[in-house]
Each structure stands twice: as structure tokens, then as C-alpha cells.
Structure 1
């Protein structure tokens, strides 16, 4: 059954206090805020080495936690944030999220040490988690049901546009002004979103909705993912004592099982496991975990290849990275239209297989000799088409068959799982590439891992069924 409009939203005809606002203006404001969150992530991929130079006392693991602490907290807070938006108002939580994100961005730029930076990133993650689900809810409320697949595709394309602009803009900012300005740049755009949101957006809420604030569940999943990623990042430092990372990783898996047990037994769990009884929802979320992990390894490793193997400057690497993500934008819009007509399965399977082809291309064509035009560019175009078909369709398929009462929490869980995949992808990339002397064999290993992850994702999305009968 398709998603139905939310019952707690009053039509304009019955509530004259609600302003008549163009749906696309709502889309503009909410998507711009989402754009800030997306571009902030891609900029940090570029700034990794610059941050490391600013904090010479910090080891690579600490630098990796500048990204992973944000992503883990963001993923975990997304779930209760959806309930907060439903209960206390989507506009109110959206605006709070934007304000927190701006404040934390400034604090990140002012950080005197790596630990302060990580702490500021945690606050930034909380703000991002507040605005994310609320932004999508505001967008979907503004459009009729028959437009939603197209709108979700356009919303996904916004993230893709951020990924396209992020490397080039971020590399130029970091190279010219320093990594601090990668955070400061969020302030003016965020203030614009606040001003336009206060002036334009209508409030909506469902005071009767259940708020999922499960502190124990949040602590368990944060500890579990932190332990698993730490074992991936740290294993090479314990080659003579392999039992240490194995013990850390095993404890993470144990905590993950404990988290599942907790969610089954507690009355108001962070994750409602009953949602996963829906076959499509279960398949989409497993596929999202594998695909997001592969995407993160591909995106992050590109800068290592450009700068460490081919000797590109940071701005050159940023410009070189633009083509693939730029391809995502039109592909996402086109894929949304196809999914709207024929269902998501065809789009998802095709996208996964296309993306896997890019891994094979890189594996066979990338050498130590710089050859962007013939070795790298085709792979970028192929991967861009694959990501454009898969990422927005994962969002659409995940919520397609959920009842209205579960929409916000179902969407938040899907986004959280994708963020956890990003954490794992960053951890895998750091564990393989962050060392004194990186070589081509390291990249070939990563491309092989990417291929296997995406093929696994393709197997799961082949079980999706969202086609209208």
C-alpha cells in the first residue's frame, strides 16, 4: 500500500490561518538546509589531511573520528528526531536543527584541539539529525501523493548536487583559507534558511504521536558501532596482537545483539523491529547498508588516489571529483520518474549493477600513471549514473509500503542505516589507505571490496516490490 497523506495535516480550506505557500518554495527551503548537511560531509573528505596537519599531536584514528563521531551520533539521533518533529512540530524542530547546525559549525571552526573539534561535531550532528527528517516531512506534506516519487527523486538529487559541488568548492576553500572555513561557510546559508523558514513555512504536528526516546538503546547502538569501526581502523596497529582488534570488534557485535534484544523487550524501543516484518522495508534497509558502505569507500578513496598516487593538488582533485556526482543529479530525477511509473525494483537493480561496473573499471584501468581522461573519467560517469539511480530510490522504496503512522520513524531508521554504512565505509578506507606509503594494491583491494558490497546490495534490492498493482 502506498503512503497516504498524513491525517494530522489540516487542509487549507479548513484552516484559514495556514498560509498558502508554493510547494516548491517549501522544497527550496528544506532542501537548502539538507544541502548544507550533505555538502558538509563531502567537504570533510577533502579536509582530512589539512585537519591532520593542524593537529600534529592527533593520530589518524582521532582524525577519522572527526567524521565518524558526527556520523554515528547523527545516525542514532535521527530516529528520536523524527518523533520529536511529529509531536512538537515539524517546522519548530526543523528550525531548531538549523540553528544548532549553524552554531556548531562556528564552534568547529574555532576548535583549538582535536577533542574540541570532535565534541563540536557531535553537536553539529544533533542539529543535522533534527533538521533531516523534519525537512523531508515538510516537503512531502507540501505535495500530493502522486508527486511524491518525483519529489523524493528531486530531494535525493539535492544531496547529489552537494556531493558534486562539495569536493571542488571544499578543496578551493580549504586550500585558500584553511579547513576552518569549510565550517564557517555554513553560517550565511543557514541564517538564510532560518529567515525564510520563519517567514514562509507552516507548522504541523501530531501531539498524539509516540515519542521514541530510548536512551539505553541509543547508548548501546553508539557503543556497538564505535567498537566495530574502531576494530576496523585499529587492526593494523596490532598486527602482532590480532586478538585485541578481534576482541574490540567482537564486543561491538555483542553490543549489537544486545541492542536487538533490548529493542525486542522494551516497551518504547529506539528501533521498532516490527517494521522489518515488511519484506520490502527489510530488503531495502539491508541493501542501503551495503551500498552506503561501498559509496563511502569510493568517494573517500578518490582523494587519496588523486593526491597520494597521481600527485594532484587539492583543488585539482576537487575539480576532478565533480563529474561523477554531477551525473547523479539528472539521473536521480530521471530515475524518480521511472520508479513512479514502474516501481523501484527495476531502478535499484540497474543502478547497483551499473555502479559495480565502475568498480571493475577502476580495478582494471587505474595505474600509477595519471590518466584522468581515459582511466578515471569513464568510471566516474558510470558510478554517477549508478548512485543517481540507487540513492533516491532507496529512500522512496523504504517508505513506500509503510502505513502513515510509521512513516516518520521508518524514514528515520532508513537514513540512520545509511549513515552507519558511511561510518563503516570511512573506517574501511582509513584502515587500508591511512599509512606512510600507500600503493596501487591498496586501491585494488578497495575496488574489490566495493564490487562485492554493491553486488550484495543488488541481491537484496531484487526482492523489492513497490509496483502498483
Structure 2
């Protein structure tokens, strides 16, 4: 590389590079939650059932999760700058395709490609931060990165609410296009061309096993209720599909252990660091709880209590504002005093706050009924992301930065996809019980000749065909009804849906709350003092031209 080129590379501040990385990372993570606020509008506009909506949410996160570690290896092989830019381009083009989709199938396909782009980009952010910042400033940089992760996750519903209400659901994807173009231009100019001296091999067998196993488990969870947890293809049942996924994942970990002397997808040696291992579990649990909580809550705000997407986003905004305000202070405090007790307090408040949200959720709730719980939750969430990332990465040597980056982000996304799928499956199962019961309670207000048909309509609504769009009640009224009967049936259907969904949601959300509480307790095992990492000869990055 020429001296002039090297001088150009060194002219850019690491903080400017960090800002560029965080801009791309923010856009990628935003898409894990911004879609949730648009679910009711998508359901109505695309005529998508609840099961199809779960695939629209999970297709992106699933592909994103299973490719992260491989993308980290590719960054080590070909340079993080190249992979970061390629990922941005793929993600931006796929975002445009999402906006132009006219059927649920088209949208799911475009979301899959989005996931590929996001996976190529994300691991490069942490590996570059680890390399370009000296150890004494790395904690602060990780704090900024972690704060961006938190802010992106919680601002999705608010920003999405504005876009959906004023522009249409398509614009939650179109907005990525100009941001992606700007970020590509910045990355081309300010990012250094870095490579670690060590060469890596790709574990394609591990990648295929992980992808197949996670797909089977997720498919079984999402499609289970619509197939009555029975047959799905011939003699193959949903439990068999999930069981096969678990067996494939067991084979994946056996393969990883058997190839540990080479370079497996998951380097087991990195888990000898207790803090890193704990934070992988904690970040997965946070994502499990967050996506698991937001999906039913957004449907509740719009389809049950009748808020617009913008009103629902504004209702959630106080949590986002508090998180953004508190996150930088939490990051700096973690640098000074360690993050153990900050993280424990944050997770405890986040769990208690969301528990209060669930307790306050009623079918007759208003826009601000959930505010006390959201304020407590936002305070806690602001205290989690930055300390978590600092604790996870502070003892990781630069040689392992790519693998560690891929693992921590994989844990985050796997937690999200399993949480969304598990909570979605549990919600569908609860709706199968609660909706018919609510319909029976309301049937007494109807003329006798309509009661049996009314209850039967709700009894079948949860089997893959339930629609949860704003203004929808989960069932369609039969044609040709007299106007008076139609009005009576519509009113009873609305009341039944509101009561049935609210009861189902409150029982369902016990699961993510329990996972969050377990994550908070596990923070007590964090090692308080960081060990001094042993210097490694191959830890120094080499800048490469081109």
C-alpha cells in the first residue's frame, strides 16, 4: 500500500468510523422491531393471516441469525470493509423489494434477502471497533455500539408508527434506501481496509446444520397451531418437525466439538471466558423477551383498543426516550465501576416494568394506560445494552474479535427468533381457547338463529386463518345478513375479539417475562474483575490496499 494511501486511511478518526458503523448497524437492527408496528396494516392490506405475519417477522431474523458467524469469518478472510459495504448494498436493494411486495409470499422472500444483507454487515462492526480502538477506549466505543443497539430496538415502533400512519407500511422499508446509500458512501470513504494476519477457514457443514436445525424448529413453532399440532406433510407431524430440528442442532454441536482442533463455526475456547458466556445467554434472553413482548402488545394497541399505528408508536415512545437518555450514562458508568450491578438493576427494572404493562393491559384500556409500566421498563432497558456489550467483549483478544462479534450477535438474533416464534405459537394456542370462550359469552346477546354460527366462526379463527388487522375481529361475517343482524353480530364479534385477545395475550406474556427474570438473576454470576488478556502476536491488524 502506498504511503499516501496509508496517510489517507489514518486521517479519519476512529470515532468517525464508529459513527459510520453504527449508522449501518442501526438500520439493520431497526428492521427487527419496526415491522411489528405495521403488522395490523399488513394483515389488512396483504390479506395475511397471523401465521403469515409471523413468517414476515421471523424470516428476516432467522436468516440473519444463522448466517452471522459465517459472515464474521468472511470478514476475517476478505476484510470487514468489503463485507460491510456488500451487506449494505444487499440490504438496501432488498428493502426496496419489500416495499414493492404485493403478497405475503413476496414480502417473506424479500425479507429473507434482507436477512442475508444484515448478516453480512453486522459482525464487521464489532471486529472493526475491537481493532481500531486502543484497549483504554474500547469500553466507551462498545458502550456507544451497545446504546445504538438498544435505541434501534426500542425506537422501531415509534418511527414505524409515524411512517405507517402518514405514508403507508411500505415506507418502513423504503426509508432504508436513502439511509443505505448514504452509509455506503461514508463507508467507502472513512472505513479502513483491515485484515487480521490470521487466515480462516469456513465451516460449511456447521453452517448447513445450524440453518437446517433452526429452520425446522422455527417452522414447527410458527405452523404448529394452524396444523393443530398434528400432521403437516403426509405422516409427518409438527412434533416430529420440531424434534428433527432439535436432533439436527445436537448434531451441529457434536460436529463443532469434534472439529474444535481445526476452526469450527463456534470456537468453544471462547466460552472459557465466563462473562462472555453469560452475556451470550443474557443478550439472547433480552431479545427473546423484547420481540416476544412487542409482537402481541402492538396487536393489542391497534386491534384491541383501536389506536392508529402512529398513536401506538407514540404510546411506546416514552420507553424509547428514556432508554436513549439513560444508555450513554450507563455506558460511562460501566467503564468506571464495571457493569455487573448496572446490568442486574437494568434487567430487573425492565422485567418489572413489562410485568406492570401486562398487568395494566385491559380490553377497555386507553392510549396512556400502560405508561407507568413503560416508564419503568424504559429506565431498565437503558441500563442494559451498553454494560452488556462492555462486559461481553472486554477480555476478548483482537484475534478472536470476528468470532466473538458473530457469536454475540447470533445469540441476540437467535433469542429474538425463538422468542417471537415461541410467543407466537403460545399466543395462537391461547387464542384457540380464549376466542371461542369469549364468543360463547357474547352469543347470548344475539338472536338464537345466529348463535351457533357465531361461536363456530371464532372456533376456527385461530387455525391459521386468524386476521388481526386494525378494525378486524378475527372472523368474517357471512354475506346476505339483514342490516340489524349485521350490526348486532359485528358488535358482538368486536367485543369477543377484544376480550379473547386480551386474556390470551396476558397469559402468553408470562413466558417472556419469566425468561427476562431468569436473565436478571444470572447476572449475579458475572465476574467482577477482568483478567488481563495475554498479548498475541497475530492480534495486530494489517491494512491492505485496494
Give me the TM-score of the superposition, normalised by structure 2. 0.78
Identify unmatched segments of 5+ residues in structure 1.
Answer: 1-9
- The aligned residue for residue 364 of structure 1 is 359
CA contact (8 A) 2:24 2:88 kept: yes
How far did 1:328 drift?
1.3
How far did 1:351 drift?
1.5
1:11-47 deviation line (CA, Å, top 9, x unaligned): x999535331123221221111111112222221112
Pairing partner for 1:281 from 268, 276, 280: 276
Distance 2:12 2:505 in 1: 49
Pairing partner for 1:22 from 5, 13, 38: 13
CA contact (8 A) 1:90 1:138 kept: yes
How far did 1:162 drift?
2.7
- 1:202 is the counterpart of 2:196: no
CA contact (8 A) 1:46 1:314 kept: yes
Which deviates the most, 233-242 or 364-373? 233-242
- 1:150 is the counterpart of 2:145: no
1:126-166 deviation line (CA, Å, top 9, x unaligned): 11112212123334444332222222222222233333442
**CA 1:407–1:201: 2 relative to 1, 3 Å:** closer
- The aligned residue for residue 110 of structure 2 is 120
SS in 2 for 1:19: helix
- The aligned residue for residue 423 of structure 1 is 417
How far did 1:349 drift?
1.3
Alignment of 1:334-349 (within 5 A): 334-349=329-344
- The aligned residue for residue 389 of structure 2 is 395
Aligned length: 456
CA contact (8 A) 1:31 1:155 kept: yes
- The aligned residue for residue 308 of structure 2 is 313
How far did 1:339 drift?
1.6
- The aligned residue for residue 265 of structure 1 is 258
- The aligned residue for residue 82 of structure 1 is 72
- The aligned residue for residue 6 of structure 1 is none
Distance 2:9 2:512 in 1: 48
1:223-247 deviation line (CA, Å, top 9, x unaligned): 2222222332233334474993322
CA contact (8 A) 1:88 1:207 kept: no
Pairing partner for 1:255 from 234, 248, 260: 248
Distance 1:99 1:422 in 2: 24
Larger Cα Rg: Structure 1 or Structure 2?
Answer: 2
1:281-336 deviation line (CA, Å, top 9, x unaligned): 22221222222211111222221221122211121111111111221122221221
1:196-231 deviation line (CA, Å, top 9, x unaligned): 2222222111253314x2222222222222222233
**CA 1:443–1:240: 2 relative to 1, 3 Å:** closer
Distance 1:362 1:150 in 2: 32
- 1:378 is the counterpart of 2:372: yes
**CA 1:234–1:126: 2 relative to 1, 3 Å:** closer
Distance 1:46 1:264 in 2: 41
Distance 1:320 1:143 in 2: 38
SS in 2 for 1:205: strand
CA contact (8 A) 1:297 1:429 kept: yes
How far did 1:66 drift?
1.9
CA contact (8 A) 1:83 1:209 kept: no
1:43-84 deviation line (CA, Å, top 9, x unaligned): 21112232233333x543233222212111111211121122
CA contact (8 A) 2:80 2:195 kept: yes
- 1:42 is the counterpart of 2:104: no
**CA 1:126–1:237: 2 relative to 1, 3 Å:** closer
SS in 1 for 2:237: helix
RMSD of the TM alignment (CA)? Answer: 2.5
SS in 2 for 1:462: helix
Distance 1:66 1:424 in 2: 14
SS in 2 for 1:369: coil
Distance 1:23 1:404 in 2: 16
- The aligned residue for residue 234 of structure 1 is 223
CA contact (8 A) 1:150 1:333 kept: no
CA contact (8 A) 1:87 1:207 kept: no
CA contact (8 A) 2:40 2:303 kept: no
How far did 1:357 drift?
0.9
SS in 1 for 2:383: helix
